Amino acid sequence: EAMMTQRAVRRLLPDDVDDGIVLRCIELALRAPSGSNAQSWQFVVVRDRQVKHALARQYRVAWALYGGLGRRVVRGDQAMTRILDAVQHQVDHFEEVPVMVVACVKGLSHMVPVAAAQSIHYGSVYPSVQNLLLAARSMGLGAGLVTLPLWNLRRARRVLGLPWNVHPVCVVPLGWPRGRYG
């Protein structure tokens, strides 16, 4: 049922999400398969207002370019305009998201400029992110995968307090959906 009804939910209530629910979602995310069974992923749970503000600032910078271009490209397409409006809402209210989970990969292969090494490296984390999204859905939470807040990886790593060998891949905002789910 979670797979059949899953969608990106960008309009979230600012209401708190219990730590137990967040931890259960992460426990289920950790059950995902990975290449060589390395499970080289890590999850950073962000609740700190200053960290959320810094990520929101990065999101706004990237969205100013990407969203503006997107609106010109989809002009006249009502379905795509609704999606862009939802993303704009998320951008405008990013600090209000009660909890953000940042999926990261640990290791050095992200530093290798060989596409195959990078594919293996990133390909291992996304099944766990999908598990996280499905777990959130099964618990009634809204969630979605966002990458624009991480466009400046050096700054994102500094904001999140990550060591040089831990690479943030995506942010999963978690919260109770504003209105109906879907």
177 has which bridge partners?
12
| Least confident among 37-46, 57-66, 162-171 | 37-46
Sequence letter at residue 72: R
Query: What was the pLDDT predicted at 4?
Result: 86
Question: What tens digit of pLDDT does each residue of 17-42 get?
Answer: 999 999 999 999 999 887 666 667 89
Please give the mean pLDDT across all residues of the chain.
89
**Separation CA 22–CA 133 (nearest Å):** 11
Q: Return the SS3 of 58.
A: helix
Query: What was the pLDDT predicted at 67?
Result: 85
Share of the chain above pLDDT 90, in %: 63
Q: What is the pTM of this model?
A: 0.90
Share of the chain above pLDDT 70, in %: 88
Asked whether residue 112 carries a pLDDT value surpassing 80, the answer given is no
Q: What confidence category does residue 96 fall into, taking pLDDT thresholds of 50, 70 and 90?
A: very high
Q: What confidence category does residue 116 fall into, taking pLDDT thresholds of 50, 70 and 90?
A: low
Asked whether residue 117 carries a pLDDT value surpassing 80, the answer given is no
Give Cα 15 to chain centroid, integer Å: 18
**Separation CA 53–CA 98 (nearest Å):** 12
